[in-house]
Structure 1
Amino acid sequence: MRIPLSILDLAPIARGETAASSIAASVALAQRAEEHGYERVWYAEHHNMARIASSATSVLIAHVGAHTSTIRLGAGGVMLPNHSPLTIAEQFGTLEAMYPGRVDLGLGRAPGSDQNTMYALRRTPESAERFPQDVLELQAYLAGETRVPGVDAIPGKGSRVPLYILGSSMFGATLAAALGLPYAFASHFAPQMLQPAVEAYRRDFKPSAQLDRPYVIAGMNVIGADTEDAAREQLHAVRRNLAIGLFGRGQSLTDEQADQLLAQGAGLHVDTMLTHTAVGAPGQLADAVEGFRKLADADELIVAHQSSSVEARLRSVTLLAEAMDGVRAG
């Protein structure tokens, strides 16, 4: 039996494309993932980022849900400090009512934005300090056991949408263990604390009504193509796009300018983010993914297919599934 594979989709807006085309690509990606037996597709909340169209996470999930049938869909994650627990309980309770048994709710503590955007969201830096209490309040709404007298989430009450704690540090690992919730580590862009965080989570885990044993989801990047050369060429484009997104200050830069950014120091930052990245043809993907699974001590892998074009991402989805099916068959 192959390890469960899932997808993290940031709904990227490629150069020259629109949010509408990005959302259409997300539908196609989820449909391809469903066809090839992926466990779930998650969408991450980001704000004020010119190349990411997943800011209204619950709306995107609702749209993709209407164009798929069986694959689980969810947030990976909702940045809870940006919202009231009641609002998120209502949103995901609505999604669960629409797509019963298919909805996940991953929760993150980071703002997913900069200071000015936090102001625009009417949040403060102190909002993150309430994260553990807000998780418990949200969980209670979904269980129909409200902590706020006289206030219920409708829809949402009694839906028990499964919660996941997201993180890239010891904080998330400790919280997930204490609450008995699954833990998803963001090693696809923040690899440094992966192993100690997973070890601490497994060691300190306390069973809960949702989960009786630890469950770890680890993130990695995949760039799969029919040949290694094609995959390496796509990796170069991905590195350029990351450099522009992180250091381009919102400018529309050429490939040559992106290469200059990489050479001037952005390359080190980008390559650190891409530490856990499988690049190549199917056989190489299978070896890299299996090696990462062991390193991460993961029960499930959530993959960001990073290729720059929609067609290349869809092909990567197919090739990885087929490669891992071959491992299972072998």
Structure 2
Amino acid sequence: MILNSLKLSVLDLVPVLQGVDAYTALQQAVRLAQAAERFGYSRYWTSEHHDMALLASATPEVLLAHIGAQTKQIRIGSGGVLLPHYKPIKVAESFHLLAALYPGRVDLGIGRAPGGSAEAVMALNDNFLEQNRKMPESLKALSELLDHRFQMENKTVIARPIPPVAPELWLLGTNRKSASYAAELGAGYVFGQFMSDQDALEVLSVYRDQFQPSKLQQEPRTIVTIAVVCAETEEEARRLARGGGLLFNPDGVKETETASASKRIVIGNPRQVQDQLLLMQERYKVDEFMIVTMTPEYDERIRSYELIKIIGG
């Protein structure tokens, strides 16, 4: 089995590297999406974070509108919209609009994390914990809105515009609860291995065992998001990982050597990266890997993604 037979996608946190301004960081996001499309990656997703000085990605739906216009065929999506902060209809409207602009290319990835500091969350949401508790109801409403079945006071409410192809719905998470939510909803599930010490195998098993077919999809679909740093040599890859590691872990250098970190980040030359991903694929039986790469410089990030695909053929 070769890496080319495994679907690979890109998660972009839109980092502000090298002391650049937000404009430059966003231009680098476009550059990465275009490169990912050129290299043959399946998806480009971008995240939602609030009041984080090193990340320029507070509103993924806005950035995705721009990314879609600057690319031709790669799927674009959110990794993810933090649903407890919003009414489901607003999220559905935003992604219906994106799907109308870019038919057959849009993914709606949903998360339930706060996405920022306590102060930022308070500024955004008066009652985050209560809205998080209502996540199952919000997810149900969102799925009904995407399928034009949502009702308010016995009247159907449509999230317009109606796109020719509905967005794919995915739920993001790092634990059994999020896996159960995705399974009950009948949505795809994305396990965030790059920010979790839990074993993906256990969580994915919960999702697959509990999956209920729905109008969204008939079979369970899984993605594992993993941090990867690839370079021509292992030594160079480790240097880059240490330089970009502060965003993943404040302890930096030491953490990249621990067993815990080995679950979250793959580091090496192209052949080593391929071997590690294939071993993970065999263990997890996952459909796709979504790769997030942090390096000290943007050019090194692009090159890492390129090397991963080159070895796959």
Q: What secondary structure does 1:284 align onto?
A: helix
Q: What is the deviation of 1:114?
A: 2.5
Q: Quote the sequence identity (%).
A: 33
Question: 1:189 and 1:146 mapped to 2: Cα distance?
Answer: 34
> Residue type matched to 1:32 in 2?
A
Q: Which residue of 2 aligns with 1:81?
A: 84
Contact kept? 2:195, 2:248, Cα under 8 Å: no
- Equivalent runs, 1:59-70 vs 2, <5 Å: 59-70=62-73
Contact kept? 1:189, 1:274, Cα under 8 Å: no
- Structure 1 position 6 matched with structure 2 position 12: no
Contact kept? 1:278, 1:285, Cα under 8 Å: yes
* Matched residues, number: 307
Contact kept? 1:7, 1:42, Cα under 8 Å: yes
Q: What is the deviation of 1:275?
A: 2.8
Q: What is the deviation of 1:167?
A: 0.7
1:172-198, CA deviations, whole angstroms, 9 ceiling, x for partnerless residues?
111111121111000011131422111
Q: What is the deviation of 1:157?
A: 7.0
- Equivalent runs, 1:79-158 vs 2, <5 Å: 79-124=82-127, 125-148=129-152, 149-156=155-162
Contact kept? 1:92, 1:156, Cα under 8 Å: no
Q: What secondary structure does 1:165 align onto?
A: strand
Q: Which residue of 1 aligns with 2:197?
A: 191
1:21-66, CA deviations, whole angstroms, 9 ceiling, x for partnerless residues?
1111111111111011111011111111111111111001011111
2:273 to 285, 303, 306: 285
Question: 1:114 and 1:269 mapped to 2: Cα distance?
Answer: 28
Q: What is the deviation of 1:227?
A: 1.8
1:139-191, CA deviations, whole angstroms, 9 ceiling, x for partnerless residues?
11121112223532122478532100111010111111112111100001113
Q: What secondary structure does 2:134 align onto?
A: helix
Contact kept? 2:7, 2:289, Cα under 8 Å: yes
> Residue type matched to 2:15 in 1?
P
Residues 153, 241 of structure 1: alpha-carbon distance in 2 compared, 3 angstrom cutoff: closer
Listed as ranges, the gaps of 5+ residues in structure 1 are 247-260, 326-330
Q: Which residue of 1 aligns with 2:210?
A: 204
- Structure 1 position 238 matched with structure 2 position 247: no
> Residue type matched to 1:30 in 2?
A
Q: Which residue of 2 aligns with 1:308?
A: 296
Q: Which residue of 1 aligns with 2:181?
A: 175
Question: 1:160 and 1:99 mapped to 2: Cα distance?
Answer: 10
Contact kept? 2:93, 2:161, Cα under 8 Å: yes
- Equivalent runs, 1:240-259 vs 2, <5 Å: 240-243=246-249, 246=250
1:232-282, CA deviations, whole angstroms, 9 ceiling, x for partnerless residues?
110110224545xx5xxxxxxxxxxxxxx558xx84899845633221211
Q: What secondary structure does 1:66 align onto?
A: helix
Listed as ranges, the gaps of 5+ residues in structure 2 are none
Bigger Cα displacement from structure 2, 177-186 vs 188-197 = 188-197
TM-score by structure 2 length? 0.92
Q: What is the deviation of 1:312?
A: 0.5
> Residue type matched to 1:141 in 2?
L
1:57 to 54, 57, 60: 60
> Residue type matched to 2:134 in 1?
R
Q: Which residue of 1 aligns with 2:221?
A: 215
2:42 to 39, 42, 54: 39
- Structure 1 position 297 matched with structure 2 position 297: no
1:271-311, CA deviations, whole angstroms, 9 ceiling, x for partnerless residues?
84563322121111111111122232211100002222110
Question: 1:197 and 1:133 mapped to 2: Cα distance?
Answer: 22
Q: What secondary structure does 1:104 align onto?
A: strand
Q: Which residue of 1 aligns with 2:307?
A: 319
